Structure 1
Amino acid sequence: MNPCHVTKAELRRGLLAVRAGLTEDDVSETGPVLARRALELPELASARTVAAYVSVGREPGTRALLDALRTRGVRVLLPVLLEDNDLDWAGYEGADRLVKAGRGLLEPDGRRLGPDAVAEADAVLLPGLAVDGRGMRLGRGGGSYDRVLARLEKAGTDPALVVLLYDGELLGEVPAEAHDRPVHAAVTPSALHRFSRG
């Protein structure tokens, strides 16, 4: 399947089908590797506040990274999905403070900080299914993170935008629309990938 001749929906279906073929061991073994690799990024290693997310299902694991950041004294913000698909935020206070929410998500049970809290982040981890050489990210299509990126732009902040992926999810081209914003880096188990911030 040539990515530049498929729609976002077709590309999502193909990438999700590959992820569905991963075993639980594949997923659990990848998380700690991704955490070590991600912390090689100076933008994450030096961040005081990181907006992240809790991986679910066959997503590349974030939990080891969340705990590593918290151990370093980093303030970690996690999303809370609102009814309109926008995101509120709350602080991560450990895995035992995560609760099941709608759509199979896990969310922190602490005080809600408001949708604008993401503007305090030095780095933002974005979920994604793929990224291309321009840094264009393919998300799941819900639009939640498009709103986050628009909110950051409106606030005039410039946090490092980072996506965690499996090897093989760096593509030649991802279909992009006018509102799509590139990420600055992608972390895969085997490498760090940087994209121009120009």
Structure 2
Amino acid sequence: MTEADFPHGPVTDPASVAAKKALRRDVLTARAALDADALALTAERLRDHVLALPQVVAGACVAAYVSGGSEPGTRPLLDALRERGVRVLLPVLLPDDDLDWAEYAGPEALTEGLRRTLQPATPALGVDAVADADVVLVPGVAVSATGHRMGRGGGSYDRALARVDGAFVAVLLHPGEVGRRVPVELHDQVVDAAITRDGVVVLAP
């Protein structure tokens, strides 16, 4: 599937949309119950699991994102990747919900973007820059055993992943969000693995 399959954003089926809303609501309710200590531990363990990936070596390129709220934390990971000499790309949300990309230059070089997302203040590289990544780490709220990821509903990452070819793609989740029954739509992109505080779960399409 390519970006041309949904040039104006995701194609949605009403039944799938309703099922996704229900699953999203359940997951976000569970996330809201997580305390600060649990979230901090998750961020530390995610950092360690990602750094242990064979694809993450000095000189590699990793596309990631700045986590927020009760999402599995990425802040420790982003700085650890830079310290290792990994080039880190972060998304810049565009008005049409597509994603541009820019290099991460440290926490002091982050600025607020659309919908209060944090993004790099460095120059934007274009929507196709994600194709440079050896590893792509994406947010989500659930993933099936076959790698079908469910996000927040905007379709941003489905569009971005349609531009990726050959990279290792993983969604960062909490343990109870892996192996869920995720409704699948035409535009949905699959991921290779889920990474939680407990480790890396390889998903089979």
Task: Tell whether the structures are fold-level matches, with TM greater than 0.5.
Answer: yes
1:17-166 matched pairs, under 5 angstroms: 17-45=29-57, 48-152=60-164, 157-166=165-174
Compared with structure 1, are the counterparts of its residues 112 and 83 closer, same or farther at alpha carbon in structure 2 (3 Å cutoff)?
A: same
Measure, in 2, the Cα distance between the counterparts of 1:176 and 1:44. 30
Measure, in 2, the Cα distance between the counterparts of 1:16 and 1:104. 18
Cα root mean square deviation, aligned: 1.7
How big is the shift at 1:181?
A: 1.9
Q: 1:184 aligns with which of 183, 192, 198?
A: 192
Among all aligned residue pairs of Structure 1 and Structure 2, give the percentage whose two residues are the same amino acid: 51
Under a length normalisation based on structure 2, what TM-score does the superposition of the two structures give?
A: 0.87
Q: Give structure 1 regions of 4+ aligned residues with deviation exceeding 6 angstroms.
A: none
How big is the shift at 1:195?
A: 1.9
Query: Contact between 2:133 and 2:167, CA under 8 Å: does it hold in 1?
Result: yes
Query: Contact between 2:90 and 2:103, CA under 8 Å: does it hold in 1?
Result: yes
Deviation string 1:23-42 (CA, Å, 9 cap, x unpaired) is 22222221011110122222
**Structure 1 unaligned residues grouped into runs of 5+:** none
Query: Contact between 1:77 and 1:90, CA under 8 Å: does it hold in 2?
Result: yes
Measure, in 1, the Cα distance between the counterparts of 2:109 and 2:138. 21
Query: Contact between 2:42 and 2:196, CA under 8 Å: does it hold in 1?
Result: no
How big is the shift at 1:47?
A: 6.7
Question: Tell me, what secondary structure is at the counterpart of 1:89?
Answer: strand
**Structure 2 unaligned residues grouped into runs of 5+:** 1-15
Aligned length: 189
